[in-house]
Chains A and B, each alone.
Chain A
Amino acid sequence: MTAGPRSVAVIGGNRIPFARSNSNYSKASNQDMFTAALDGLVSRFGLEGERLGEVVGGAVLKHSRDFNLIRECVLGSRLAADTPAYDLQQACGTGLQAINLVAAKIALGQIDAGIAGGVDTTSDAPIAVGEELRNILLDANRGKSTQDKLKPFLRLRPQHFAPAPPRNEEPRTGLSMGAHQARTGAEWGITREAQDELTYQSHQRLAAAYERGFQDDLVSPYLGLSRDQNLRPDTSLEKLAKLRPVFGGKDGTMTAGNSTPLSDGASTVLLASEEWARERDLPVLARFVDAETAAVDYVNGREGLLMAPAYAVPRLLARHGLRLQEFDFYEIHEAFASQVLSTLKAWEDPAFCTQRLGLDAPLGSIDRSKLNVNGGSLAAGHPFAATGGRIVANLAKTLHENGGGRGLISVCAAGGIGVVAILEA
C-alpha cells in the first residue's frame, strides 16, 4: 500500500479527427474507431506489447453486442492482450469520467498507468426492433416445441417491423436536449449574437491551432480525414447570423451553427504515475488534480437539463480552496454555445449562487480570453463519449505549452449530469 494519494500525470492523448454524421466514418464501427485512436496512442508513446493497468472507455450509443467494447478494442490493438479493460457510460460525461476513474486508481496505487477515452458514432447507430416485435421474438425463443416456437409469430403485424432508433430526447420530459437548452438559454437571456460570437471564436481558434501544428501530436488521420470535418475556418458572423433557429421555435436563438452537430469519432488519453512516466522517459504534460460530478433535478423544470456543471464546479473549487478566477485556462464543453453562456451567467448571478449553490457571493465572471483557447466542440464536433478525451489532452498540452498553470474542465451531459475536473502543470 502507498501512503496517501499519488500525483497523476497526463502523458498525452491521441484521437482521430471528428467526422460529421453519415460522412467519412459512416461505415466505421465504434470498435474500429476506438481501436484506431488507441493504436495511435500506443505508437505515439511506444506502448506496443505493454501490459497497462487498464483501459477504460465507453460509448453513449452502443450496440448490445458491444457489451465488452473496450476490452474488444484492446484485444484488437497492439497493447498486450493481458491488459484488462471495462466499459463505462455516463452520457456525454463518459470520456471525462473514464479519465477520472483511471486517475483515481493511479492515485490510490492500484494501477500505475492506464488509458481512458471514449468513442461514438451517430452513423453506425444501433437500431432496435420495436417493443412488441421484441416480445414476440423472445416468446418464440422461450418455446419448447416447434409449435410453441412458431405460435408467437402469428401475432406479427406489419407495423412491428418499424425500427426503434435511439432516442434523442430525455425519457422523462420528452424534450430533446436542444429544446431543454433553449429554455435554459431563454431564462438566462442568452442572445443569438453572443452564441454566434462564441461559435465564430471556436472555429477561429481551432483553425489556428491546426495551422500552428498544435494538433499534430493530438490527432492522427483516419479514413481520409486529417482535420475535424465540422471545422469551418472561413465561417463568419454574417454567415452564422443567416442560419435558421433549430431549437426554441421561430424566435429561437439556437441554430445548427451554434449547436454541436451529430458526429463520429474517438479519443484516448494516457495517464500514469509520475514514477512510471519517468522510468519510460515519457513527458508529463500536466497533472490530473481532481474531479467532481454533479446532477440536477431538471425533470420538474426548476433547473436546466445542462446546468449540472454549474453546481459541480463550486464544489470542486471549495475542496481545493480556489476561486473561479484562479485558473489560467477554462475548457467548457460547447455542447451548445447557449450552454456555455448560461453557465457563465449563472456564476455571475447573486440569487443563483447564494440560493442554489449555497455560496455567500457570486462566483463571478471569468476572463473570456482564457476560455477554450484552442477551440471547442462547436468547431471540432462532439462524438458524445469522445469529447472528454479530446478536452483533457488538449488542456494538458495547452498547460504544458504555457510552461505551467491551472485549468478547469466542465462537461455537461444528458440526464442532468455534469462532470468537471482540474488539471495543473
Chain B
Amino acid sequence: MAQADRYTELINTPIGRIVQKQIGLPAPVPLKRWTPGDRVVDGRVLIGGAPGGRLATTLAKVAASIGAEASTPLREDLRAAAAAAGLDAGPWTPAAAATQRYAALVFDATGITEPGQLSELREFFSPTIRRVAKSGRLVVLGTTPTATRSASERIAQRSLEGFTRAAGKELKAGATAQLVYVEPGAEDQLDSTLRFLLSSRSAYVDGQVIRVGSGSDVPEIDWERPLAGKVALVTGASRGIGAAIAATLARDGAHVVGLDIPALEGDLKAVTGSLGGSALALDITAAEAPREIAAYLKKEHGGVDVVVHNAGITRDKTLGRMDEARWDSVIEVNLAAVQRVTDALIAGRSRAVLNQGGRIVCVASIAGIAGNFGQTNYATSKAGVIGLVDAYADTLAARGATINAVAPGFIETQMTAKIPFATREAGRRMNSLSQGGLPVDVAEAIAYFASPASTGVNGNTVRVCGQSLLGA
C-alpha cells in the first residue's frame, strides 16, 4: 500500500502547493505513522489544565515515562505535580507560545465544573493551536458527563465534545484532536490511551471521544511488545484490513490465529505464515463454527486473549431492490455470527475460552453511524455491532475483560480502490485530514484496545476516519 495517494503526493510538491493555495484545494500532508523504536512523541508536549483538575499528576507521570520534552504553565499546582511525578517540565506562559512549536497540547479540563470556566480552554489553546507541529496532537481530558456531581458540571463537561471536534477541524498538517473522558477513580488507567493518542499510532483517529473507566489494576507491560505471550484471533485475516490487524498484533508480540473462509485459505496461510501465526479456515456463519473455534483455541492455545471480529462483507443494493439473500448474508456475517462466536468464547465463566483480562474488538463502520446510500443491510449490521459492544461491555467488565469497536471511515484498500473516481475522491477528502486512512491505522486502534494496559477502556466505539464529515 502506497504511503500517500497520488493527489497527496502532487499537492506536496512545490508546484502542487502553489496550485493548491491558488484554488483552495484540500491540503493533505502525508501522515506520520509509527514504526517500532519511534519515540511516543517527538517534540515539546505542553501540559495545561483548568484549576482544580485531578489529572495533573497522572499526565506528568505519563509524560515522564515516555521521556517527553515537556512544559507546563507556571501555575503552582501544575509545577508541583510535575515535580512529584519526576517530570522535567520547562516553564511556560502564554507569552512563550509565539516562539515555540508543540508536538502535543494536552489539557486537563476536569477542573471545569460550570460553563463559565470553559473559557480556560480558550485561554490555553488560543495562543497555542496555531503552533502545533505537523502530525501534532491536541488532547483534552474531561470527566465522564454521567459521572459528574452537578448539573452545571455535566453540562460543562459535555461541552468539551463540541470544543475538541471544532478544534480538530481547525488543526492543520495532519494534526488531530481528541477528547478523553476519565471517570473519577480511573486516573491510573490513562497510560495506554495517552500513549496511543499522543503517538503516530493514532495517525488517522481524529475528533474522537474515548471513555476511560476504572478497571482492574493496570499490569506492568513492555510498551514495545505489549502483547508478548498473548494469543489473538483475527477473523477475515487473509487480506486488507484483516491482514494489517494480524501483522500489527504480531508486531506487538501476539501469536496470531488468522481465520478466514476455506476459499481464501491460501491467502490466509500466506499472511499467518509470515507472522509465525496459525491459520484456521472455516466459515463463521456455519452452525458449528462457534463451537469449532472455541475448541480449536482451547486445544491449541489453552484459550485466547484477544479476539478481533474483523470479517465482514458488503452486498450493496438500494432498499427497494434489496433481495433476501443480500440482506441475510450481510447480517449473518457482520453481526449474527459475531454474537454467536462471542457467546461461545465467553461461555462457561471461569472455564471460558476467553482468558481472564481478555480483549474483544469489533470492527464497525462509519456506515453504521452515518448510514450509507445503497447499504441498508451493511449499515444495519454495523450499527448492530456498536449495539453489541454496548450490550456486552458490563458482562465482560465483570470478568476483567473489555469489548470495544473501531469504526473505520475511508480506508485505502482493494475494496475502496474499486469505487468510481468521483465517489472515491469525495470519500477520501471529506474529512479533516483530507485523505484516506491506511489499513494499519485501523489495526493500530485495535492494538490499543487489545493492550493489557487498556483495562479501563471498555464499551467504546472509536472511529478511524480522519474526522470524516459523515455522521459527525
Contact of A346 with B91 in the complex, beta carbons under 8 Å: yes
Contact of A350 with B83 in the complex, beta carbons under 8 Å: yes
Could you list 12 examples of A-B contacts with CB < 8 Å? A186-B93, A186-B95, A188-B93, A189-B93, A189-B95, A253-B95, A349-B91, A351-B82, A351-B83, A351-B87, A355-B86, A356-B88
CB-CB under 8 A for A351 and B93, given A183-B99, A187-B71, A188-B74: no
Indicate if B98 sits at the interface (CB-CB under 8 A): yes
Determine how close the nearest CB of chain A comes to the CB of B87; give it in whole angstroms: 7
Chain B 43-87 interface mask (CB, 8 Å, partner A; 1/0): 000000000000000000000000001011010000110110011
Query: Looking across the interface, which residue of chain A has its beta carbon closest to that of B95?
Result: A186
Q: Which of A187, A345, A356 has the most CB of B within 10 A?
A: A187
Determine how close the nearest CB of chain A comes to the CB of B390; give it in whole angstroms: 42
Q: Which of B74, B88, B93 contacts A355 (CB 8 A)?
A: B88
Determine how close the nearest CB of chain A comes to the CB of B72; give it in whole angstroms: 7
Indicate if A249 sits at the interface (CB-CB under 8 A): yes
Q: Which of A185, A251, A353 contacts B98 (CB 8 A)?
A: A251
Contact of A187 with B83 in the complex, beta carbons under 8 Å: no
Contacting B at CB under 8 A, from A286-334, are 302
A353 cross-chain contacts in B, Cβ below 8 A: 83
Q: Which of A251, A345, A350, A354 contacts B95 (CB 8 A)?
A: A251
Contact of A186 with B99 in the complex, beta carbons under 8 Å: yes
A352 cross-chain contacts in B, Cβ below 8 A: 79, 91
Bound complex: CA A188 to CA B79 (Å): 12
Contact of A351 with B88 in the complex, beta carbons under 8 Å: yes
Contacting A at CB under 8 A, from B82-112, are 82-83, 86-93, 95-96, 98-99
Interface of B is mostly: mixed
Contact of A349 with B96 in the complex, beta carbons under 8 Å: no
Query: Looking across the interface, which residue of chain A has its beta carbon closest to that of B44?
Result: A301
Since A188-B93, A345-B91, A355-B83 are in contact, a sample of 19 more A-B pairs with Cβ atoms closer than 8 Å, ordered by chain A residue number, is A182-B99, A183-B96, A186-B98, A187-B93, A187-B96, A188-B74, A189-B91, A249-B98, A251-B95, A251-B98, A302-B90, A349-B79, A350-B80, A351-B72, A351-B80, A354-B86, A355-B86, A355-B88, A355-B89
A350 cross-chain contacts in B, Cβ below 8 A: 79-80, 82-83
Determine how close the nearest CB of chain B comes to the CB of A111; give it in whole angstroms: 43
Bound complex: CA A251 to CA B71 (Å): 21
Contact of A189 with B74 in the complex, beta carbons under 8 Å: yes
Contacting B at CB under 8 A, from A224-250, are 249
Q: What 8 pairs between A and B have smallest CB-CB spacing?
A: A189-B93, A355-B88, A350-B83, A351-B82, A186-B95, A186-B96, A354-B83, A187-B96
A183 cross-chain contacts in B, Cβ below 8 A: 96, 99
Determine how close the nearest CB of chain B comes to the CB of A310; give it in whole angstroms: 11
Query: Looking across the interface, which residue of chain A has its beta carbon closest to that of B73?
Result: A189
Chain A 354-396 interface mask (CB, 8 Å, partner B; 1/0): 1110000000000000000000000000000000000000000
A residues sitting closer than 8 Å to B (CB atoms) are 182-183, 185-189, 249, 251, 253, 302, 345-346, 349-356
Determine how close the nearest CB of chain A comes to the CB of B108; give it in whole angstroms: 16
Bound complex: CA A249 to CA B99 (Å): 10
Bound complex: CA A351 to CA B86 (Å): 8
Contact of B69 with A302 in the complex, beta carbons under 8 Å: yes
Determine how close the nearest CB of chain B comes to the CB of A250; give it in whole angstroms: 10
B88 cross-chain contacts in A, Cβ below 8 A: 351, 355-356
Bound complex: CA A349 to CA B82 (Å): 10
Bound complex: CA A251 to CA B98 (Å): 10
Bound complex: CA A350 to CA B86 (Å): 11
A186 cross-chain contacts in B, Cβ below 8 A: 93, 95-96, 98-99
Determine how close the nearest CB of chain A comes to the CB of B302; give it in whole angstroms: 46
Determine how close the nearest CB of chain A comes to the CB of B375; give it in whole angstroms: 51
B92 cross-chain contacts in A, Cβ below 8 A: 187
Bound complex: CA A253 to CA B94 (Å): 13
Contact of B79 with A351 in the complex, beta carbons under 8 Å: yes
Bound complex: CA A289 to CA B286 (Å): 88
Chain B 245-278 interface mask (CB, 8 Å, partner A; 1/0): 0000000000000000000000000000000000
Query: Looking across the interface, which residue of chain B has its beta carbon closest to that of A252?
Result: B95
A182 cross-chain contacts in B, Cβ below 8 A: 99
Bound complex: CA A107 to CA B381 (Å): 87
Bound complex: CA A187 to CA B91 (Å): 5
Q: Which of B69, B91, B92, B99 has the most CB of A within 10 A?
A: B91
B95 cross-chain contacts in A, Cβ below 8 A: 185-186, 189, 251, 253
Determine how close the nearest CB of chain B comes to the CB of A203; give it in whole angstroms: 25
Bound complex: CA A100 to CA B112 (Å): 54
Contact of A187 with B90 in the complex, beta carbons under 8 Å: yes
Determine how close the nearest CB of chain A comes to the CB of B190; give it in whole angstroms: 20
A302 cross-chain contacts in B, Cβ below 8 A: 69, 90
Bound complex: CA A367 to CA B305 (Å): 62
Bound complex: CA A189 to CA B79 (Å): 14
Determine how close the nearest CB of chain B comes to the CB of A221; give it in whole angstroms: 43
Determine how close the nearest CB of chain A comes to the CB of B96; give it in whole angstroms: 4
Bound complex: CA A350 to CA B72 (Å): 12
B99 cross-chain contacts in A, Cβ below 8 A: 182-183, 186
Bound complex: CA A387 to CA B87 (Å): 36
Bound complex: CA A346 to CA B92 (Å): 12
Determine how close the nearest CB of chain A comes to the CB of B45; give it in whole angstroms: 13
Q: Which of A189, A345, A356 has the most CB of B within 10 A?
A: A189
Determine how close the nearest CB of chain A comes to the CB of B43; give it in whole angstroms: 11
Query: Looking across the interface, which residue of chain B has its beta carbon closest to that of A249?
Result: B98
Query: Looking across the interface, which residue of chain B has its beta carbon closest to that of A362?
Result: B83
Contact of A355 with B82 in the complex, beta carbons under 8 Å: yes
Bound complex: CA A253 to CA B98 (Å): 13
B91 cross-chain contacts in A, Cβ below 8 A: 187-189, 345-346, 349, 351-352
Bound complex: CA A180 to CA B95 (Å): 14
A355 cross-chain contacts in B, Cβ below 8 A: 82-83, 86-89
Determine how close the nearest CB of chain A comes to the CB of B88; give it in whole angstroms: 4
A253 cross-chain contacts in B, Cβ below 8 A: 95
Bound complex: CA A142 to CA B98 (Å): 51
Query: Looking across the interface, which residue of chain B has its beta carbon closest to that of A359?
Result: B83
Bound complex: CA A345 to CA B96 (Å): 15
Q: Which of A183, A186, A302 has the most CB of B within 10 A?
A: A186
Determine how close the nearest CB of chain A comes to the CB of B69; give it in whole angstroms: 7
Bound complex: CA A345 to CA B76 (Å): 12
A349 cross-chain contacts in B, Cβ below 8 A: 74, 79, 91
Bound complex: CA A351 to CA B98 (Å): 23
Query: Looking across the interface, which residue of chain A has its beta carbon closest to that of B82?
Result: A351
Determine how close the nearest CB of chain B comes to the CB of A335; give it in whole angstroms: 19
Bound complex: CA A185 to CA B152 (Å): 38
Query: Looking across the interface, which residue of chain B has its beta carbon closest to that of A349?
Result: B79
Determine how close the nearest CB of chain B comes to the CB of A356; give it in whole angstroms: 6
Query: Looking across the interface, which residue of chain B has its beta carbon closest to that of A342?
Result: B91
Bound complex: CA A104 to CA B9 (Å): 65
A251 cross-chain contacts in B, Cβ below 8 A: 95, 98
Bound complex: CA A352 to CA B82 (Å): 9
